[in-house]
């Protein structure tokens, strides 16, 4: 089975609907399809053709979307480059991916050492020639390639196919529903699966996307108040910053706003409860680059009853806990379904993605007696202290329950006596004695889980999607 070209089909079915807006600019699906065809002709003039592997380096702005949609029309494989990476890191990904072309935003092209990099401005002003429109897409066609964060060793390039993106979008729709009036606020980077998946949903649902070049808590809060958007994707830190603006300015949230999907790690229960006070339904999700976005999501009907859970698998997927015989037993999370990548590229192309049909995630969690998933932590972030397993997220959750703490990060530090012990770093809302925070933790944590040091810092290390980078905390100890 082949899919119709999603952008062409969407323009045909509902061309007059709003497809994309950014600032005071707006495009319908018909308009954006036309723009993408013009850009496809321009890219063809530079030599791009079906199955070309094309790396793109850009900020999350409309022209980035035009370039991606043009590549979809031509039938290219897109390597999504993180604009926050250093020149050395980008060079590794370009070499590993063997990208034949590099398209770069003018303000970022200086990071690319490849002399063949093509600037957006030269594409924009170039001529548009005839090209062969890809009317249909094979299910196994590689749409995007994204490099994992690389918590250990070098990052791996993950293939994401048309089937991966289609199953992810359809499964999400079956979970939260869709409406012709939906507009998704996208403040996540488009090169990341969290942002890219919003564009895929847009094409498949006929849903508008309200695009922000970067996250701005004030502007996002105003969108929620004005009712101009219905959905949003967040991580813990962006959710907290929006809530702080709502709190400080005593703002209301429009009843038109429906749901926030929250990923990037466990969301503190305190945040979810604060959001509920504004009528915001925050649905914890769990997914990864290898699963083309979410694999489990907590349904609205279960949100209050199972607070803190990442929900059950979406309709087409399965989840199990390695070695678990009974509910509540903690182990590695395994995933199976059509959203799982068929493989890696480059130096990891021979690395098997699945074992016995299951993706071994490296994440730690458990299923309760009703089959709801609770994600505990990353296995690579696990602290082993005197033979006891300590999950940083558990300590972070307690610290974030104190009103003086805005952000928290925990990692292991060496100990002659115990091997490792927890160390905590906090960003504070208000001045507080750190001994008072320790006393607060002592009431809720076993003694071996107590941070042996707590340091106040101005900010915590995060990646482009605002996910906490615990491995970088190791250099702060």
CATH code of the domain covering residue 386:
3.30.300.30
What's the confidence (pLDDT) of residue 415? 83
- The full DSSP string for 99-156 is -SEEEE-TTTGGG---TT-EEHHHHHHS---------EEETT-EEEEEE---SSSS--
Mark whether 349 and 432 lie in a shared domain.
Answer: no
Mean pLDDT of 395-414: 91
Residue 387 has pLDDT above 70, yes or no: no
CATH no. for residue 96?
A: 3.40.50.980
pLDDT at 75: 98
Concatenated DSSP letters of 406-466 = EEEEEEEEEETTTEEEEEEEEEESS---HHHHHHHHHTTS-GGGS-SEEEE-S---B-TT-
Q: Over the chain, what is the mean pLDDT?
A: 92
In whole angstroms, give the CA distance from residue 193 to residue 465.
Answer: 10
Half-sphere exposure of 442 (CA within 13 A, CB side): 9
| Pair (323, 246) in one structural domain | yes
Residue 300 in domain: yes
Q: Read off the pLDDT band of 264 (50, 70, 90).
A: confident
Portion of the chain with pLDDT greater than 90, in percent: 73
pLDDT at 226: 97
Q: What is the pLDDT of residues 334-352, one digit of tens each?
A: 999 999 999 999 999 999 9
Residue 308 or residue 33, greater confidence: 33
Whether 362 maps to a domain, the answer reads yes
Q: Is the pLDDT of residue 362 over 50?
A: yes
Q: Which of 472, 465, 436, 57 is nearest to 234 (CA)?
A: 465
User: Is 143 inside any structural domain?
Assistant: no
Q: Are residues 20 and 95 in the same domain?
A: yes
Give the pLDDT of residue 116.
79
Number of independent structural domains in the chain: 3
Q: Is the per-residue pLDDT at 17 higher than 90?
A: yes
Mean pLDDT score, 353-361: 92
Predicted local distance difference test score (pLDDT) of residue 151? 42
Whether 150 shows a pLDDT value over 60: the answer reads no
Least trusted range by pLDDT, from 8-22, 49-63, 258-272 = 258-272
- pLDDT of res. 214: 92
Alpha carbons 157 and 146: distance in angstroms, whole number? 5
Would you say residue 266 has pLDDT above 80? no
| 180 in a structural domain | yes
In this prediction, residue 153 carries a pLDDT of: 56
Q: 84: pLDDT confidence band, cut at 50, 70 and 90?
A: confident
> pLDDT for 112-127, tens place per residue?
987 779 999 999 999 9
- DSSP, residue by residue, 183-252: EEEE-S-TTSHHHHHHHHHHHHHT-EEEE-SS--HHHHHHHHHHT--SEEEEEHHHHHHHHHHHHHTT--
Per-residue pLDDT at 477 exceeds 70: no
Claim to verify: residue 293 and residue 191 sit in the same structural domain: yes
Do 19 and 114 lie in a common domain? yes
**Do 188 and 301 share a domain, yes or no?**
yes
- What's the chain's Rg over C-alpha atoms? 22
Nearest to 191 by CA among 68, 288, 283, 74: 68
- Give the whole-angstrom CA distance, residue 41 versus residue 37: 6
Last residue of a domain, one of 103, 138, 173: 138
Answer yes or no: is pLDDT of 49 > 80: yes
Q: What angle do CA 377, 423, 360 make, to 5 degrees?
A: 20
Q: Is residue 158 part of a domain?
A: no
The verdict on 130 and 230 lying in the same domain is no
- Provide the pLDDT for residue 233: 96
Give the residue from 138, 173, 204 where a domain finishes: 138
Q: Name the pLDDT band for 18 (thresholds 50, 70, 90).
A: very high
pLDDT, tens digit, for every residue of 413-466?
888 778 789 999 999 998 899 899 999 998 888 788 899 999 999 999 988 778
Instruction: Give tens-digit pLDDT for 372-381.
Output: 999 887 777 8
Domain that includes residue 98, residue range: 2-138
Taking the C-alpha atoms of residue 68 and residue 204, their distance in angstroms, rounded to an integer, is 16
pLDDT given at position 263: 86
Same domain (yes/no): 202, 335: yes
**CATH number of 361's domain:** 3.40.50.12780
Q: Which residue has the tokens 């059950």?
A: 312
Q: Report helix angle 269-277 to 392-400, nearest 10.
A: 40
| pLDDT reading at 8 higher than 90 | yes
**What size, in residues, is the chain?**
477
Confidence category of residue 104, pLDDT binned at 50, 70, 90: very high
What pLDDT sits at residue 139? 97
Is 149 domain-assigned?
A: no
Please tell me the predicted confidence (pLDDT) of residue 152: 39
Shared domain check, 335 and 192: yes
- Domain-embedded: residue 156: no
Residue that is last in its domain, among 379, 401, 428: 379
In which band, very low, low, confident or very high, does the pLDDT at 271 lie, cut at 50, 70 and 90?
confident
80 and 9 belong to one structural domain: yes
Do 192 and 61 reside in the same domain of the chain?
no
Residue 94 belongs to a domain:
yes
- 270 and 320 both lie in a single domain: yes
Interior/surface letters 438-456, b for 16+ CB within 10 angstroms, e for the rest? bebbeeebeeebbbeebee
């Amino acid at each position: 089975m082949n899919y119709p070209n999603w952008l062409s089909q969407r323009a045909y079915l509902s061309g007059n609907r709003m497809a994309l807006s950014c600032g005071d600019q707006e495009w319908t699906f018909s308009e954006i399809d036309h723009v993408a065809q013009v850009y496809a002709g321009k890219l063809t003039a530079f030599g791009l053709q079906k199955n070309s592997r094309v790396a793109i380096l850009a900020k999350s702005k409309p022209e980035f979307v035009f370039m991606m949609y043009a590549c979809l029309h031509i039938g290219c494989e897109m390597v999504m480059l993180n604009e926050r990476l250093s020149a050395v890191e980008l060079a590794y990904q370009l070499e590993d991916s063997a990208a034949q072309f590099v398209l770069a935003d003018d303000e970022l092209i200086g990071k690319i050492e490849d002399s063949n990099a093509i600037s957006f401005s030269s594409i924009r002003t170039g001529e548009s020639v005839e090209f062969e429109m890809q009317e249909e897409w094979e299910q196994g066609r590689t749409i995007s390639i994204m490099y994992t964060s690389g918590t250990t060793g070098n990052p791996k390039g993950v293939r994401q196919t048309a089937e991966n993106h289609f199953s992810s979008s359809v499964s999400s729709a079956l979970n939260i529903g869709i409406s012709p009036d939906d507009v998704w606020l996208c403040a996540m980077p488009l090169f990341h699966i969290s942002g890219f998946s919003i564009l895929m949903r847009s094409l498949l649902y006929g849903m508008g996307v309200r695009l922000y070049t970067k996250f701005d808590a004030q502007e996002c809060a105003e969108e929620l108040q004005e009712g101009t958007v219905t959905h949003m994707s967040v991580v813990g830190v962006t959710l907290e910053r929006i809530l702080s603006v709502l709190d400080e300015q005593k703002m209301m949230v429009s009843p038109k706003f429906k749901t926030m999907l929250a990923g990037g790690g466990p969301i503190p229960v305190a945040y979810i409860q604060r959001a509920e006070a504004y009528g915001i339904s925050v649905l914890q999700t769990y997914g990864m680059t290898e699963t083309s976005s979410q694999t489990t999501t907590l349904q609205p009907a279960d949100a209050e009853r199972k607070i803190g859970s990442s929900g059950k698998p979406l309709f087409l997927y399965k989840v199990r806990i390695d070695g678990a015989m009974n509910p509540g037993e903690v182990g590695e999370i395994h995933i199976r379904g059509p959203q799982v990548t068929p493989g890696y590229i480059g130096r990891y192309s021979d690395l098997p993605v699945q074992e016995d049909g299951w993706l071994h995630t490296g994440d730690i969690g458990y299923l309760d007696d009703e089959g709801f998933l609770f994600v505990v932590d990353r296995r690579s972030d696990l602290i082993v202290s005197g033979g006891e397993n300590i999950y940083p997220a558990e300590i972070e959750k307690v610290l974030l329950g104190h009103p003086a703490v805005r952000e928290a990060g925990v990692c292991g530090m060496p100990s002659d006596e115990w091997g490792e012990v927890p160390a905590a770093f906090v960003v504070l809302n208000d001045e507080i004695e750190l001994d008072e925070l320790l006393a607060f933790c002592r009431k809720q944590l076993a003694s071996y889980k107590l941070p042996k040091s707590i340091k106040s810092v101005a900010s915590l290390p995060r990646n482009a999607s605002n996910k906490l980078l615990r491995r970088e905390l190791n250099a702060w100890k």
